[in-house]
A and B are shown apart, each in its own frame.
Chain A
Amino acid sequence: MTRIELTVNGEQRSAEVEPRLLLVHYLRETCGLRAANVGCDTTSCGACTVLLNDVSVKSCTVLAVQAAGMSVTTAEGLAPDGELHPVAAAFRQNHGLQCGFCTPGMVMAAVSLLAENPHPTEEEVREGLEGNFCRCTGYHNIVASVLDAADVLDPGGTRAAGVSA
């Protein structure tokens, strides 16, 4: 067993973990945070996407011990006071989800994308979400949600002309 100290959704945590424990299992089973889903379990689908030191990662392919000393944010952590984060609110407003399984991962990938590129074009959103699968194929509204969220997060920004969802 290995002792790890890390921050999860702003809260300092300490745990004794088996080195082979995956971060997604630590989050779901030890912390009781169920937003990150285990979908493919092979680094493909992105349903388990969380932020590690503020950038998106697939938590099925990160060991909990690799997150020691780092900061993890799950979809729950985007709404500490129960108020929806602008990206989550945009998904709700634009009906950017169907069954909802991919949604927490989509939202976290979108938060990371918009931090790197505050005003992506539609094409940049589509490429920026290439690591997240929606098996309902609801991509159209997901892309619209992310473009909408960009406008809400940074109302003064501009994207390349002539491109819209």
Chain B
Amino acid sequence: MIPAPFDYVAAQSPEHALELLAEHGDDAKLLAGGHSLLPMMKLRLATPAVLIDIGRLSELAGITADDGELVIGATTRHADLAAAELARSQAPLLAHAAALVGDPQIRHRGTIGGSLSHADPAADLPMALLALGGRVELTGPDGVRTVSADDFFVGFFETVLRPQEMLTAVRVARKPGVPWGYQKFVRRANDWAIVGVAAVDGRVALANMGSRPLRATAAEQAMADGASAAEAAELAAEGTSPGEDIHADREYRAHLARVLTRRALEHQR
């Protein structure tokens, strides 16, 4: 399968990429690892006129820490995030999620900014960021705005990113030693979650239980009110609207959400 024709520009700097976005707007797509975008282009589900390649911009990659937060550059690859000692110690849930994306080859190419911008409701990193209460930095013609994960994902493969904006960095609070749980139910190695659950610090996030990654707010509230993990987990599917496919109907996904939430809460690391 071969994508439809497009023009290709390798951005020379993040500023250059923003200029190109300002010029081409909605006709353009940013290309980093390409592991969400290129499969869609090969299936002709996406037919951008221009690809702006930011995959080689070292300014946008890397992991640093400031006083309270871990800052992950948008083009940081999953394999690098999964292996980084700083991430493993300060945001172990995020490093763990990065280690579960796809397979080794995919993790060598795919980037955190790409995965979050793609906003697949079944994906690992959007759910992990939501559980951690993380934030994304969106850089546009008027500067940088910071958006919480709760506000970033708005629908099926849809975020609040504007056509002239670029996701440039991801911020998560440093939580060394805080217990966390992560459950991903798949039928085959390297698949997307049929249902996924990430839990940390009183927050519970769900993958593939709706058109976007969702918080299990009823379960969170129950825990805050002193319910046991098992009691809270019974509420995990409340307010969700999972889709149906060959793997699971709605009822089965709701069942999985309850079971996996209990496991995520009871088996914390």
Residues of A whose CB lies within 8 Å of any CB of B are 2, 18-20, 22, 25, 41-44, 46, 49, 52, 55-58, 61-63, 65-66, 68-69, 109, 112-113, 127-128, 130-132
Contact = CB atoms under 8 A, between A and B. Distances in A.
Contacts of A58: 105-106, 109
B14 interface: no
Contacts of A55: 79, 108
A113 to B, nearest CB: 7
Contacts of A131: 102-106, 190
Contacts of A43: 35, 39, 102, 105-106
Interface residues of B, number: 30
Contacts of B246: none
Given A19-B6, A69-B56, A61 B35 contact: yes
Contact of A18 (B5, B31, B34, B190): B5
A66 B53 contact: yes
Interface in B56-86: 56, 79
B10 interface: yes
B79 A20 contact: no
A55 B109 CA distance: 9
B104 A19 contact: no
Interface string B37-53: 01101100000000101
A132 B103 CA distance: 9
Contact of B104 (A22, A44, A52, A128): A128
B56 to A, nearest CB: 7
Contacts of A69: 56
B189 A130 contact: yes
Of listed B6, B8, B104, residue having the most chain A CB within 10 A? B104
Contacts of B39: 42-43, 61
Contacts of A52: 108-109
B178 interface: no
A57 B109 contact: yes
B213 interface: no
Contacts of B7: 19
Given A19-B7, A20-B4, A61 B38 contact: yes
Contact of A66 (B4, B55, B79): B55
Given A20-B41, A56-B104, A127-B189, 13 more contacts: A22-B2, A42-B1, A43-B105, A46-B103, A55-B108, A57-B108, A58-B105, A58-B109, A61-B38, A63-B8, A69-B56, A113-B104, A130-B104
Given A42-B39, A44-B190, A130-B190, A65 B105 contact: no
B134 interface: no
A20 B3 contact: yes
Nearest to A42: B39
Contacts of A130: 103-104, 189-190
B31 A66 contact: yes
B8 A49 contact: no
A2 B38 CA distance: 18
B105 A109 contact: yes
A139 B39 CA distance: 27
16 contacts: A19-B7, A25-B2, A43-B35, A43-B39, A55-B79, A56-B108, A57-B105, A61-B38, A63-B8, A63-B34, A65-B10, A66-B31, A66-B53, A130-B103, A130-B104, A131-B103
